[in-house]
Chain A
Amino acid sequence: MRDEQTPAASGASALPSAPPLPVEPGWHRLHPLSPMVRAGRGLVVLVVALLFASVRRGHPDYGELIGDGVVVVVLLAVGVVSWLVTRWQVVDGVLRVETGLLRRSSQRYPLSQVQAIDIVATGIARSLGLAELRLRMAGSATRGGGRLQCVRAADAEGLRASLLAAGRATAATPSVTADHAAAPKPPLYRLHSVRLLVSVLLSRLGLVTVAAGCAVVLTVVLGPPAAAGAVGGSSALALGVLTNLYRRLNGEYGMAVTVTPDGLQLRSGLVELSTETIPVSRIQAVRMVEPPLWRPFGWCRVEVEVAGKKVREENAGTGRERRALLPVGSRELARRLVAEVIDDLPAPERPAPRRARWKAPLSYRWLAVGDNDRYVVTTNGRLARVHHWVPLEKVQSIRQVQGPVQRALGLGSIHLDTAGRSMHAVLKDRDWVQLQDELVRLAALCRAARRP
């Protein structure tokens, strides 16, 4: 577990340094192997099911095999036809994708409105040397942008660069992206896999998995006859836990974050590789969590909430509202990452009044708030210490709440709600009299921050 600041030299190919790949005029096809990727998920499931079935019976059932074979062939045929009728081209800074055999559809994506292009390579795509480009458009949060599934993985970076360049060339206003040509910066960090593994084991998810595993082993050792039923009964639960564990490991493995002019670029993946760009202006809230079991190592986790990604996409990794910027890392590194998002960091310098101890004995030692013209920071959390940073500009509504215990102690809380459902800042258990002024002040600050 050395430091996360591994020099970037080790992963030069992973840097966004690919030169733009010129897109020739005229229509292009996707990669011929694309149907395999699209049908891949179904194929894998089918093959596994087939294997299970024939293993259980001891010998393959040829009739069933032929039946399943037909299904596979049909799946592939559908994929091939859909590949045959799909083509794309770039004309005047617009990406056009035409697809459909019976119902032709032609989609136009003005590249000047593209906010970011994500590159995703599922396990099957990777084994075939392919990758998928996903366009993230401005303002179309629900419908989702276009996708090119799939192109050669080696070309993906270059294609991405040239699509972005085409968008910039046609953009009406020369935006901040002028320094695009500048040498790419090295990543802020690269996640160490051992550290990730240890940290996941020490998280709630890891502990649940370990406990469940121990329980299964114990039942098998102590009472083999009962074991079968117990294992069978809990298999759905186990599947859920394992899926979560896999998703987390896969999504955060080898994560590297790079600052680009478009935003923060996140690269990660064990089986499924993804490159995702988060525009800093879309970040609604940032939080830093320090779970109790990580404290001996001085580790913490940084997560951001991103607006407008309500639709959960099929593939994990992208499409989540809450995204880990730093799955695990030192506090110092976490501060640096937060500072990338929030350029004017306020310190949580005003602790809660002493009597808040009676209301919140566990979190009292941490309760604190701080703010400046543009951001508010709050610290709370019972077992884990959690910092929340919220840009005042993004605050959706303010709520002042006082429960019966708080009233008896002369305390109260203010909630600053931000878009999304997983994060919001709470100025918890503050002095009630001062809170009245605080509410007026925060409302005024938010109003001022909203106006450019």
Chain B
Amino acid sequence: MTVPNSSDPTGWHRPSARLLRLRRLELLGVALPLLIVAVAVPLAVGAQTVATALGLAVLAGSVVTERVLHRRFLAWGYAEREDDLLVHRGVLIQRLSVVPYGRMQFVDVVAGPFERAADLATVHLHTAAAASDARIPGLPTGEAARLRDQLAARGEATAAGL
């Protein structure tokens, strides 16, 4: 058995594309008011060059952040294998977690207000180890529920004591 790697599409699932849209909206929600303030305040005191510079800076920052968000979104991936769940994430620091089903203590499904509005949820896997950090964001609610039940069932079948 080989570890499927992120460039190989077989077996790997991705979060819903709505997650990326949600992240972009969140960015817009922060960047737009910032842009307005950055331009309006200097304009009010009559400093036009400052207004232009600040406005451009905010715009450039937003574009860079958008690229980062995009790449971070693309980095997420998970694969259900026979005995364990693989989760891949991260751009700057790339992580691949392998969590055996038998080691899962409980599975959390969390959805914040924005996620709920987009009909998305985050599945969070907990093991007895504090350092385990496997979570999968941006799953459609139905898929999150299916994954949760699937993980619970497999965990029960292969549960092992400490």
Contact = CB atoms under 8 A, between A and B. Distances in A.
Interface of A: 282, 284, 307-308, 394-404, 407, 415, 417-421, 424, 436, 439-440, 443-444, 446-447, 450
A444 B1 contact: yes
Given A396-B128, A397-B127, A420-B128, A284 B99 contact: no
Interface in B112-151: 127-134
Contacts of B7: none
A419 B128 contact: yes
B92 interface: yes
A447 B160 CA distance: 11
B134 A397 contact: yes
Given A397-B103, A419-B128, A447-B83, A440 B94 contact: no
A280 to B, nearest CB: 13
Contacts of B134: 397
Interface of B: 1-3, 5, 83-84, 92-100, 102-103, 127-134, 160, 162
Interface of A is mostly: mixed
A141 to B, nearest CB: 8
A429 to B, nearest CB: 14
B96 A399 contact: yes
Nearest to B83: A447
Shortest 10 CB-CB distances between A and B: which pairs? A419-B128, A417-B129, A421-B130, A396-B129, A396-B127, A398-B98, A397-B132, A307-B162, A400-B96, A417-B131
Interface of B is mostly: loop
A177 B2 CA distance: 43
Given A399-B133, A404-B93, A307 B128 contact: yes
B92 A397 contact: no
Given A415-B131, A418-B129, A420-B130, A440 B93 contact: no
A401 B98 CA distance: 11
B95 A439 contact: no
Contacts of B160: 450
B130 A446 contact: no
A401 B95 contact: yes
B3 A436 contact: yes
Contacts of A418: 129
Given A308-B162, A440-B3, A403 B93 contact: yes
B134 to A, nearest CB: 7
Given A307-B162, A404-B92, A404-B93, A439 B131 contact: no
B96 to A, nearest CB: 4
Contact of A424 (B2, B98, B103, B131): B131
17 contacts: A282-B162, A397-B97, A397-B100, A397-B127, A397-B132, A399-B97, A401-B93, A401-B96, A403-B93, A415-B131, A418-B129, A419-B127, A420-B130, A424-B131, A439-B3, A439-B98, A450-B160
Contacts of B93: 401-404
Given A417-B129, A444-B1, A447-B83, A399 B98 contact: yes
